[in-house]
Structures are given as C-alpha cells and as structure tokens.
C-alpha cells in the first residue's frame, strides 16, 4: 500500500540507506539545484537539506528520482500493477458461475474506498500551525533559484487546487510557482490547463478565484497531480485508486477548497480578475529556458503547516531529471485508457529524451494498407496526446522500449517520400521550436513492413529480417559452456 504522507516515506527511505541528510548550510540560489542535478543524474539517493539559507524548514529533494523510489512510494513493485488494475475495470465481463460473481464483486470493491474522505480541521496535521495577516511570509519557504538565467525563485512541487466557478468541479494540477514577494505567487497556467480555464471563467464573471497550494503531499496525490486526466475525472479519486484507500481531505481556513490533511504546508489565497505579473524566464523540463510571459499573480492570505514542517521540491532541466519516473508511470498507467481510444495500439513508449509528450513510439498489429497512418491521426486526436510532435509506428514484433531496435526499424524501413506524414496542429505551451506559439509542424513515420497494396511492388516483396536458425541457436545455447566463452 502507498505511503499516507511524505515523512513516513522519507523515514522508510532513510532506514534503507536511500536518503541522505545534508546538515551543511546550502544556498537555494543555484547551489541546491547543482547538487540535486548531479545526484539525480548519477542515480543517487533522496536528499533532505536540513539547513537551507534563509528558510525556516528543511527541504526534501530527489524523492521520486528513481523508479525504485517512486514505486515504493506508491506501494507497487511494477508500474504495470496499476495498468493491469485499470485494464480489469475497463473490461467488466458478465459473471459466469460463482467465480465470475466473486470477480465482479472484487472489481466493484476496489472502487468503494477511493473517494476522498473529509476529516475535521482539528484532526488535520497540516493545520497544526495557522498563519494569517502580517505573519504570512513566503520567504520562510525554501524556493529555488535553479538555473543562471531564471527570472527568480520558484516552488516546483506545489499542488494547485482550484474549482470551476460554475460547476464546482475541482482540479488538482502541478504548475511552477514563482515567488514574487512575501505574499505573492506567479501562477504558470499553460493554455491547455484546466486551472487556466477556471480562472478565465471567474474573470469573465467578474469574480475572484480561490486557490490553495499544498506542498509535501501523500505520494499518490503528488503523482495524480501530474496525470493527464480528462477534466471531469477527479484527481483525488484517481489518487485513492492508486493508494488503495481514501485520501483524507480537510477544509481550508480561508478559501472554499479542500486539501490533503496530511500535507506538510498549504498556502491559501485569491486571484483577482486581471491581476497579472511577468513570470519567468525558467529553465524548464524541456532543457531550455522558457521566456517571460504575463501570468496571474496570487495574493496569499493564509499559510497552514505542521508543527515541524518540511517542504518538497524538484529540479527540472535537461533530462534525465526527477520527473522521469513520473513520466514513465504515466506512460504505463494510461496504456489501457489509450487503447480504449485507439484500440489498434499494441504498446507505446514516450521517451524521456522527448520530454514524454514530444515523441511517441507505437507498435501495431498491422491489418490493412495505411494502417499506420490511421493510428497516427487517431493519436493526434486523443486528449493530451494531441501535443505529440513525432509519432513512429512499428510492427508488433518490435520492442518499443528498445530504442536501438526502434531506430533500426525507423532508419531502415522507411522511404521518406512515401512513409513520412507531415501535418500541423497544437503543440505544448512551452515548445520553443515552433515558429509561433501554441501550434506547429508534426511528423509521423511509418516504419512498418510495407505491403503491395501500399505501393511496394518490387520483385520478391518486402524482405524477411535476418534471424538465426532456431535449431542451431538451441544447440549453441546448450553447448555454450563447452566453448569456454
């Protein structure tokens, strides 16, 4: 089962020697970022900086920096455990006999405990300390100035809570947050994000929007904030599904929102219509700086926290970084859902080097001419997969996670005059390569074996791949020790 809060996970990691306490004073201006980036790229441990210059609380970093730690945090041994669980719920076959009835009830039972559970404020650890008025000072929180050309100090793992002003449907999202001053935060809400839509609706109605930002949340909640869920799916329902039990929530002190009761720190405030400030530049997960743009500026009225709080953040930049395991979890978790939209897919891979959303490698069981092109366009129409810039389609016998195998197919199985599809469409808000913001060119590569019906009419047809003789391969395997190799 997943960990209920961040600090219990940190204790477990420390017992296993997978957390390092840094007692020396460290500077949040560039120094912390340099340390964390080196440790992450070396596959090193989670870090707890106990003495951050200018801050009043420790800083936990690189907590989810390896697949092992993220799996442990979510109570899993493999990401496929969740994808198989989701796949099972998506296939509710009619019960047959006693065993079938038991299986059906088992599936229903797995959903009973997942809606969030409200607890009283006096029982919420995150509200042990409440600061309002002149006591609110964001400088007590260790914000990071990570890269030399950043426009200021940022909180990179604050989970932002909003709700639609008309429907009341809440949203949980993960956005970078620039600390403008002691009571003001810049909200980097990209054009495709639900919270941006909530703010736009509120502004149109002439209303201010309540916002709550939680730090150091239960691991399943932190992951759920990154998941590309449709707007009508509650992230807390999904977090409970992953965690295996209901997430405990508490009413905020000054805004009409709920936050995780077991978070470490929560900041509460209101966004006034039209209140904007320049935000950025920022060295983002693309590995490049994103430019300065105007974004909503949130005024903080209240800070709640545990008696001995700690803050959690991450460092992003040139991959690999800590968001790599989070991206791999999303890739695996959402395969069954993507197959519902595009059932032709056998498997897919979103390489971290492509920022996960820029490239998709997809295998299909090819059944008709131009099947690959059909799948490309279906993916470009599938929710947030619409932002994918490059799609490589391979046959089902290709391991999409083996980039050497994929590149061999893509480099050798393609006639780019016929097998390259170029289109235009939406791209990520942060994409710097498009010649204008928000849309640009995309490409699809058909690296499958070509059929005569697709115009491949050379004598002998598509050639067979070189493979070992099965009998010889088996004999050599049995005699391997004899060779002394």
283 token code pair = 């060295």
Catalytic residue among 4, 5, 18, 284: 284
User: Dihedral through CA 466, CA 469, CA 470, CA 472, nearest 10?
Assistant: -140
| CA separation for the pair 10, 72 (Å, rounded) | 11
Strand locations in 25-94 (E)? 46-49, 59-61
451 token code pair = 């059929």
370 token code pair = 């131009």
Q: Which contacts qualify for 106-114: CB closer than 8 Å, 24 or more apart?
A: 110/85, 110/241, 111/241, 113/240, 113/244, 113/245, 113/246, 114/237, 114/240, 114/241, 114/245, 114/246
| CA separation for the pair 162, 203 (Å, rounded) | 14
| CA separation for the pair 157, 174 (Å, rounded) | 7
| CA separation for the pair 223, 238 (Å, rounded) | 10
| CA separation for the pair 75, 92 (Å, rounded) | 25
Compute the chain's Rg from CA coordinates: 25
77 token code pair = 């041994």
| CA separation for the pair 18, 16 (Å, rounded) | 5
Residue 344 annotated in active site: no
Q: Where are the alpha helices (DSSP H) in 217-362?
A: 219-226, 235-243, 323-333, 335-341
Distances from the Cα of 298 to the Cα of 114, 179, 270, angstroms: 31, 10, 6
Question: What number of other Cβ atoms are within 10 A of residue 196's Cβ?
Answer: 21
| CA separation for the pair 392, 73 (Å, rounded) | 32
| Nearest residue to 209 (alpha-carbon basis) of 198, 219, 194 | 198
Residue 218 C-alpha from the chain's centroid: 15
**Would you name the residues annotated as active-site residues?**
284
């Amino acid at each position: 089962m997943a960990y209920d809060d961040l600090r219990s996970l940190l204790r477990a990691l420390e017992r296993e020697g997978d957390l390092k306490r840094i007692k020396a004073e460290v500077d949040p201006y560039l120094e912390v970022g340099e340390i964390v980036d080196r440790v992450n790229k070396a596959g090193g441990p989670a870090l707890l900086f106990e003495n951050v210059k200018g801050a009043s609380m420790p800083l936990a970093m690189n907590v989810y920096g390896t697949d092992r730690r993220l799996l442990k945090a979510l109570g899993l041994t493999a990401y496929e455990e969740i994808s198989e669980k989701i796949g099972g719920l998506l296939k509710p076959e009619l019960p047959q006999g006693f065993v079938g009835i038991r299986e059906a009830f088992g599936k229903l039972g797995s959903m009973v405990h997942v809606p969030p559970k409200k607890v009283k404020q006096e029982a919420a650890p995150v509200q042990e300390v409440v600061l309002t008025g002149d006591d609110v000072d964001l400088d007590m929180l260790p914000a990071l100035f990570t890269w030399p050309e950043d426009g200021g100090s940022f909180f990179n793992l604050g989970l932002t809570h909003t709700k639609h002003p008309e429907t009341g449907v809440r949203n949980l999202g993960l956005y970078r947050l620039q600390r403008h001053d002691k009571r003001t935060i810049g909200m980097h809400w990209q054009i495709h994000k639900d919270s941006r839509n909530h703010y736009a609706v509120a502004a149109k109605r002439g209303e201010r929007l309540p916002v709550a930002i939680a730090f150091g949340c239960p691991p399943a909640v932190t992951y759920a904030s990154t998941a590309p869920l449709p707007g009508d799916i509650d992230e807390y329902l999904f977090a409970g599904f992953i965690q295996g039990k209901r997430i405990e929530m508490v009413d905020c002190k000054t805004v009409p929102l709920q936050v995780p009761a077991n978070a470490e720190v929560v900041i509460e405030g209101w966004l006034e219509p039209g209140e904007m400030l320049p935000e950025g530049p920022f060295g983002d997960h693309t590995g490049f700086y994103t430019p300065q743009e105007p974004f909503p500026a949130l005024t903080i009225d209240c800070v709640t926290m545990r008696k001995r709080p700690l803050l959690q953040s991450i460092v992003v930049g040139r991959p690999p970084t800590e968001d790599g395991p989070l991206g791999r979890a999303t890739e695996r978790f959402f395969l069954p859902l993507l197959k519902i939209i595009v059932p032709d897919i056998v498997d897919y891979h979103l390489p971290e080097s492509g920022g996960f959303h820029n490239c998709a490698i997809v295998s299909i069981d090819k059944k008709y001419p131009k099947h690959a092109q059909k799948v490309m366009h279906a993916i470009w129409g599938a929710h947030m997969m619409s932002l994918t810039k490059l799609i490589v389609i391979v046959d089902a016998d290709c391991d999409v996670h083996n980039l050497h195998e994929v590149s061999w197919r893509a480099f050798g199985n393609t006639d780019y005059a016929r097998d390259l599809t170029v289109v235009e469409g939406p791209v990520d808000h942060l994409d710097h390569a498009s010649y204008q913001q928000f849309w640009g060119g995309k490409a699809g590569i058909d690296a499958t074996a070509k059929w005569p019906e697709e115009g491949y009419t050379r004598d002998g047809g598509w050639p067979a791949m070189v493979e070992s003789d099965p009998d010889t391969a088996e004999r050599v395997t049995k005699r391997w020790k004899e060779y002394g190799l």
